[in-house]
Amino acid sequence: MSEAAVVIVRSFIAFFTLLIFTRILGKQQVSQLTFFEYVLGITIGSIAGTLSVDLSSRAWPHWVGLLVWTFTVLILQKISLNWPQAAKYLTGKPAIVIMNGKILEENMEKMRYTLFDLLEQLREKNIFDLNQVAFAVLENNGELSVLLKPEYQPVTRSDLHLPPQKEGLSSEIIIAGKLIPEKLKQIGKDENWLRKELLKQGIKKYEEVFLATYNPAHGTLYIDKYEDKIKKKQDDPY
Amino acid sequence: MSKILYYTVISLWLLIFVFILNSGDIAKKPWSHDDDFVLYATMLQKDITREDFRKASHDLEQLKKAWSKIVSRIQYSVEKEEINAIYVNLARLTAHIKNEDKKQALVEIEEMWNHWHHLNQ
């Protein structure tokens, strides 16, 4: 019996099964996972690990375990999507921890959420003074959503009665010295225009450019050359 | 069309995985005369019952060769312990046949049958 060969085959099966199953479960960022979903992820990963290297047991029961756990999660996801009432019980409800500037100790105790957790999460949001907070809600994924009191909210263009500013996504037109013609076409420009713009900055060849992006909303071109002309390169920011 | 192809390829992969993980029963069956484990084990059992230890020794060697071939096929779908258990049975059978110990050899062969039937279960 060649243990290495068996591990290779079983690992291959575990890897691609996990890949297929996680694709079925859909895209969710780790930060969006609830605690239960996080634990589910660890369990599914652990089963896949056992399937891969535990030669003392057959691989099939582990594979079935993987299938059952994945499809149970899938069923719960479908239930949560279609029955919001059921979702409340399955994933929990967000809890208000600060209301009208007052800390709701009872709600915090129910969620086993300490004052230190609250202060830490507020600091993470650059809030160092509790007087600034009107509402704070502890979401199912553990994130804290904060609504500041009106006097502490940042000024917006509408507050100043200014017209809205156009926003747009930048398009990469040169990446690693290579021109992306489709992107150039998308922004309604041609190579003549690009060459002129590059010449203005003393660039004769596309190969000199590491990245060039164009923002159609602002009409601005960002160019980063391979040659940075920084006297001393610093790897360590400190 | 590409979506159908996508799901077909994924389903096909999953089916291949299920087949590999459950291939033990098919892989146990003889693919040629040399790897017919059941045939050689049955012959060996008859040799021991008749106390024909010279023939039993010859059939045991054939059985060991057959088992080695089968192991390379079933190793992906069965427990390592079950495979090792049969190796242990074969080693003990070698000793019992050398000693011409009919009782112990028959006990051993019964245990080996038990392991054989439990492979892939």
Arithmetic mean of pLDDT over chain B:
90
Give B25's contacts in chain A (Cβ within 8 Å): none
pLDDT of residue A231: 61
pLDDT of residue A127: 93
For residue A112, the number of C-alpha atoms closer than 13 Å in the C-beta half-sphere is: 1
pLDDT of residue A233: 54
* pLDDT classification of A84: cutoffs 50, 70, 90: confident
Determine contact: A160 vs chain B, CB below 8 A. no
Range from A23-37, A52-66, B31-45, B79-93 carrying the lowest mean pLDDT:
A23-37
pLDDT of residue A77: 82
A171-225 belongs to CATH 3.30.240.20:
yes
Return the beta strands (E) in chain A as ranges. Answer: 95-99, 102-103, 133-138, 144-148, 171-175, 178-179, 209-215, 220-225
pLDDT exceeds 90 at position A148: yes
Cβ pair A13:B71 closer than 8 A: no
Q: Which CATH number fits domain B24-118: 1.20.1300, 1.20.120, 3.30.1330, 1.10.3470?
A: 1.20.120
Closest residue of chain B to A55, computed from CA coordinates: B80
* pLDDT classification of B1: cutoffs 50, 70, 90: low
Domain A95-152 belongs to what topology?
CRO Repressor (3.30.240)
Distance from CA of A61 to the nearest CA of B (A): 9
pLDDT exceeds 80 at position B54: yes
pLDDT of residue A32: 65
Contact B103, B95 (CB under 8 A): no
Determine contact: A12 vs chain B, CB below 8 A. no
- C-alpha B41/C-alpha B51 separation (Å) is 15
pLDDT exceeds 90 at position B56: yes
Give A2's contacts in chain B (Cβ within 8 Å): 72, 75
pLDDT of residue B121: 72
Determine contact: A4 vs chain B, CB below 8 A. no
The pTM score is: 0.68
Mean pLDDT along residues B59-88: 91
Cβ pair B71:A10 closer than 8 A: no
* pLDDT classification of B6: cutoffs 50, 70, 90: confident
Could you read off the pLDDT of A89-108 as tens digits, one per residue? 777 788 999 999 999 999 99
Which of A9, A16, A60 would best serve as a mutation to test chain B binding (most B beta carbons within 10 A)? Answer: A60
Distance from CA of A222 to the nearest CA of B (A): 37
Q: Give percent of chain A with pLDDT exceeding 70.
A: 92
Asked if the interface predicted TM-score (ipTM) of this complex is over 0.90, the answer is no
Give A6's contacts in chain B (Cβ within 8 Å): 75-76, 80
Arithmetic mean of pLDDT over chain A:
86
- C-alpha B42/C-alpha B47 separation (Å) is 9
